[in-house]
A = this chain, B = another copy of it.
Amino acid sequence: MRDVQLLHTAFDPHSVNAEFSVRHKLAGGLCSFVGQVRGEGGVQALELSHYEPLTLPGMQEIASRAIERFDLSGLLMLHRVGRMCPGEPIVCVSAAAPHRRGSFEAVDYCMDHLKSAAWFWKRELRGDDWHWIEPRAQDHADLKRWK
């Protein structure tokens, strides 16, 4: 059971996860990661843009690979686009698996791939100017862990 979505408005990861866990009551392990807009560095807002024909299919592909690679009973992958304020959730990935290690690795794998391979472009509003976020070398190092 998978649920992959691009969201254009604010969402509550905890009510989403509560529902996910009800569906996967008998899975031994549920791992979840929620990424939020950081409040540091004077960031007033974050804007995520995407490209409809590529972004969602790209997320679906990451999900398929994770389901194939790890022994999962469920995978949830939600990603915001648009404008967000500090403290708002950007991304939520949750995995249900018979064993802890599988659920952990699946979430880690999906996050690494979402961060470095999914078609998202970010800019931050700081001091009333928008600044594009560049790719990071660390992200590519993270991706290599799964080769």
Contact = CB atoms under 8 A, between A and B. Distances in A.
Interface string A21-41: 100011111111111101110
A17 to B, nearest CB: 6
SS class of chain A's interface: helix, strand, loop or mixed? mixed
Contacts of A36: 21, 25-30
A32 B26 CA distance: 18
A18 interface: yes
> Size band of the A side of the interface?
20 to 34
A28 B33 CA distance: 11
Interface string A87-117: 1000000000010100110011001000100
A86 interface: yes
B40 A34 contact: no
A98 B38 contact: yes
A35 B108 CA distance: 17
Interface of A: 12-15, 17-18, 21, 25-36, 38-40, 86-87, 98, 100, 103-104, 107-108, 111, 115
Q: Which 3 A-B pairs have the closest CB atoms?
A: A26-B39, A14-B18, A25-B87
Given A14-B21, A26-B38, A31-B107, 14 more contacts: A14-B17, A14-B18, A17-B17, A17-B32, A25-B87, A27-B36, A28-B36, A29-B33, A29-B36, A30-B36, A31-B34, A32-B34, A33-B104, A104-B104
